């Protein structure tokens, strides 16, 4: 692949709901440019874009793929993104490095959830709409067009109309050229012909809409249009290019990707009208070809065999192979051996890359996703990429006990390529907690651990880190006395236990007359701290308790630190049992962002989860509900929210405080804990 100048580069992301044909479109573009001799298919596992074993198995896109197409002396960097909610974070990375979005719609399904989510999340990014699957039964271009217009406030304007639909779909009318084109299925060959007579009225109506959109993008054209002057075809094309580049209109095209119909016309429009790299908001006001190097990593691929592969976009300047660059985030130099142009998983080396291009480099030592690459003489830090926060947590453990260290290393490698994976060891429950974007995401992580790193893991329900405390004040005795020949063991204490709101644990001594020698005080405190780790109700840690040592006795020969530690633990157990022990549960602050239409359902669901709604406030077109909910009720909320809102809701949560568990729930938790303990002891 040759090196392209900035003006000949187009960076466009394929975005839309799963199953709209994004990967198949990229495949058809490669086929139409002669790179492929035959069209691969997602369902057959033969597409260039979906090459990961997990993608072939699932038959949908999991990971963003870069697919450059050389067409009409231009390089179209096609960025194919996943269409399923669990992998939406890949869209966030892709949107940082493209200059426009190609929104994919099904001619039978219309506006679907993930398409709407992406459209709403990136309002400033210029868009093209492509209504695919015109060959399908019940395909209806005009119905979907109306739905797009009704759903989005943007100026949505068709530049093509289909000739026929379903099994009669045979071509398009180009509203710019005012010509009809019959398209040969498979080859995509277009033959010019007259516009069908029964379409003339529709063509003229939509042509006026197109002229208006073109005129609104240029002040001089708008003046001519309003004054009733005729606008030439060249002026219309110029206005359409301006509108497409600045995002003031969304132009709609149509076709059948499966039959390679309409793909060439789409590529023509991308080359002629979509924005060039200097339109990107990240480089506004800069001379991107002459300014010093500034590039950003949008994706990392961690492979146990070839090592780390770093994918990036150059925003300004130029990058050359066999060179040293500077990582501004890590403040370290990085050596670039080869610059790689990726086409799916295939790699081709190039000597240099110009501003606006997208490529990869292998085996950088410190660079990770979202890092800025630049020159040391002109360091710059680009804004971080805002990836969504993972929300579904579950416990994982290796099938083989000897694989725990191996699991830790493998997870670190996966985190390098997936910034939404979070792994932590919960010290209270002693579980390794994996937090992801959803249940399908969990499955993919587990598959990758086995395939890439040879670590087989099982997932378990995440244990809730309950705690225990007391509600009454008691004074109890603890005595440890043992005689077995020679020196015995003797420790004797009286301790007052009381509720304590100012922290986890407080220890005081109020001993008079030396009944317990001062040198044993630390042993008593240590014994109590060790006892805190396991409460009397269900074995959970004890919190919010104050212990005051006020009396006891000792033996001049048999007393020891160990004896007083044991005495303190005995006192603790006796005391907590008598001090009205209760179970506490973590309460989380939750913020849920949803469309207005789901407000009633969300509040009803929160009430069923023992939640307390604390307030509501608008956020753009949506509402944010703030609530406090027990963590135990939120374990599967990622899945619940997706079901209630059809995937249109988002949420975040963090632990805020602990509250007493209602008695009926506490009884179940305690019974379950005792049963697990008995089974473990067996």
The per-residue pLDDT for range 163-199, each reduced to its tens digit, is 999 999 999 999 999 999 999 999 999 999 999 999 9
109 against 679, higher pLDDT: 109
Mean pLDDT of 19-25: 95
State the pLDDT confidence band at 676, using cuts at 50, 70 and 90.
Answer: confident
Question: How far apart are the C-alpha atoms of 24 and 48, rounded to whole Å?
Answer: 9
List the CATH code of the domain at 8-279: 3.40.50.300
In 3D space, the residue among 468, 358, 366 whose CA is nearest the CA of residue 416 turns out to be 366
Please state, for a pLDDT cut of 70, what percent of the chain lies above it: 99
pLDDT computed for residue 304 by the predictor: 67
The answer to whether residue 580 scores a pLDDT higher than 90 is yes
Mean pLDDT of 607-626: 93
Q: If you write DSSP's letter for every residue of 388-432 in order, what string do you get?
A: PPP-EEEEEEESSGGGHHHHHHHHHHHHHH-TT-EEEEETTTTEE
Cα angle 230, 231, 234; round to 5: 145
User: Beta-carbon neighbour count of residue 532 at 10 Å?
Assistant: 18
pLDDT computed for residue 144 by the predictor: 97
Same fold: 468-579 with 584-664: no
The per-residue pLDDT for range 277-321, each reduced to its tens digit, is 999 999 988 999 999 999 999 999 987 666 789 999 999 999 999
H-run or E-run covering 118: helix 113-121
Mean pLDDT of 73-79: 97
CATH architecture assignment, domain 392-460: 2-Layer Sandwich (3.30)
Task: Give the residue extent of every domain in the chain.
Answer: 8-279, 294-374, 392-460, 468-579, 584-664
User: Beta-carbon neighbour count of residue 382 at 10 Å?
Assistant: 21
| Residues forming a β-bridge with 582 | 469
pLDDT mean across residues, the chain: 93
pLDDT computed for residue 166 by the predictor: 95
592 against 681, higher pLDDT: 592
The answer to whether residue 23 scores a pLDDT higher than 90 is yes
681 against 469, higher pLDDT: 469
pLDDT computed for residue 677 by the predictor: 80
Handedness of CA 619, 625, 627, 631 (dihedral sign): negative
Cα angle 187, 188, 189; round to 5: 90
pLDDT computed for residue 305 by the predictor: 66
392 to each of 91, 453, 465, 530, how far by Cα in Å? 19, 23, 16, 32
The answer to whether residue 441 scores a pLDDT higher than 90 is yes
pLDDT computed for residue 514 by the predictor: 86
The answer to whether residue 357 scores a pLDDT higher than 90 is yes
State the pLDDT confidence band at 402, using cuts at 50, 70 and 90.
Answer: confident
pLDDT computed for residue 678 by the predictor: 80
Is 468-579 a domain of CATH 3.30.230.10? yes
Cα angle 435, 436, 437; round to 5: 140
Question: How far apart are the C-alpha atoms of 299 and 297, rounded to whole Å?
Answer: 6
Q: How many residues does the chain have?
A: 682
Looking up tokens 């360091």 gives 379
Return the CATH fold of 294-374: Elongation Factor Tu (Ef-tu); domain 3 (2.40.30)
First-residue to last-residue Cα distance in the chain: 66
Is 584-664 a domain of CATH 3.30.70.240? yes
């Amino acid at each position: 692949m040759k090196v392209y100048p900035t003006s000949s580069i187009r960076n466009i992301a394929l975005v839309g709901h799963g199953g709209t044909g994004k990967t198949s479109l990229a495949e058809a573009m490669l086929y139409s440019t002669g790179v492929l001799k035959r069209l691969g298919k997602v369902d057959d596992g033969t597409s260039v874009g979906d090459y990961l074993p997990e993608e072939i198995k699932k038959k949908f896109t999991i990971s963003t793929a870069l697919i450059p197409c050389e067409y009409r002396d231009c390089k179209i960097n096609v960025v194919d993104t996943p269409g399923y909610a669990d992998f939406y974070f890949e869209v966030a990375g892709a949107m940082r490095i493209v200059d426009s979005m190609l929104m994919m719609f099904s001619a039978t399904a219309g506006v679907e959830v993930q398409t709407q989510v992406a459209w709403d999340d990136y309002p400033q990014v210029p868009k093209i709409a492509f209504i695919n699957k015109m060959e399908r039964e019940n395909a209806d271009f005009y119905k979907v067009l109306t739905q797009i217009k009704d759903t989005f406030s943007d100026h949505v304007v068709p530049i093509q109309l289909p000739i026929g639909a379903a099994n009669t779909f045979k071509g398009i009318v180009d509203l710019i050229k005012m010509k009809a084109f019959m398209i040969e299925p498979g080859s995509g060959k277009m033959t010019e012909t007259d516009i069908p007579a029964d379409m003339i009225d529709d063509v003229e109506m939509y042509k006026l809409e197109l002229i208006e959109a073109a005129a609104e993008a240029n002040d001089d054209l708008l003046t001519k249009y309003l004054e009733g002057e005729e606008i030439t075809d060249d002026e219309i094309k110029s206005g359409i290019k301006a509108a497409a580049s600045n995002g003031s209109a969304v132009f709609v095209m149509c076709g059948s990707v499966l039959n390679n119909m309409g793909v060439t016309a789409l590529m023509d429009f991308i080359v002629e009208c979509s924005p060039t790299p200097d339109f990107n908001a990240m480089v506004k006001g800069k001379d991107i070809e002459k300014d010093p190097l500034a590039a950003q990593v949008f994706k990392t691929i961690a492979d146990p065999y070839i090592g780390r592969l770093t994918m990036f976009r150059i925003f300004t300047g130029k990058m050359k192979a066999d060179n040293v660059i500077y990582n501004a985030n890590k403040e370290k130099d990085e050596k670039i051996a080869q610059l790689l142009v990726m086409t799916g998983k295939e790699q081709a080396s190039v000597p240099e890359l110009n501003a606006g291009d997208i490529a990869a480099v292998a085996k950088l030592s410190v660079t990770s996703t979202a890092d800025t690459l630049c020159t040391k003489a002109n360091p710059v830090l680009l804004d971080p990429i805002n990836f969504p926060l993972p929300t579904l947590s579950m416990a994982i453990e290796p099938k083989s006990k000897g694989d725990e260290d191996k699991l830790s290393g493998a997870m670190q490698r996966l985190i390098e390529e997936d910034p939404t994976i979070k792994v932590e060891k919960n010290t209270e429950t002693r579980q390794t907690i994996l937090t992801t974007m959803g249940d399908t995401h969990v499955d993919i992580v587990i598959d990758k651990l086995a395939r890439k790193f040879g670590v087989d893991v099982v997932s378990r329900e995440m244990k809730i880190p309950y705690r225990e405390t007391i509600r009454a004040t008691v004074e109890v005795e603890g005595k440890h006395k043992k005689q077995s020949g020679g020196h015995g063991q003797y420790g004797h204490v009286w301790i007052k236990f009381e509720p304590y709101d100012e922290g986890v644990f407080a220890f005081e001594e109020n001993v008079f007359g030396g009944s317990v020698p001062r040198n044993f005080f630390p042993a008593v405190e240590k014994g109590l701290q060790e006892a805190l780790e396991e409460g009397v109700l269900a074995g959970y840690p004890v919190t919010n308790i104050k212990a005051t040592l006020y009396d006891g006795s000792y033996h001049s020969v048999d007393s020891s630190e160990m004896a007083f530690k044991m005495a303190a633990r005995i006192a603790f157990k006796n005391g907590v049992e008598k001090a009205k022990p209760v179970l506490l549960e973590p309460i989380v602050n939750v913020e849920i962002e949803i469309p207005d239409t789901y407000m009633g359902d969300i509040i009803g669901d929160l009430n069923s989860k023992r939640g307390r709604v604390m307030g509501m406030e608008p956020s753009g077109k949506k509402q944010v509900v703030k609530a406090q909910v027990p963590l135990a009720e939120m374990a599967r909320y990622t899945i619940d929210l997706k079901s209630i809102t059809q995937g249109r809701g988002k949420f975040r949560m963090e632990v805020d405080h602990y509250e007493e568990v209602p008695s009926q729930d506490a009884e179940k938790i305690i019974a379950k804990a005792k049963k697990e303990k008995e089974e473990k002891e067996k």
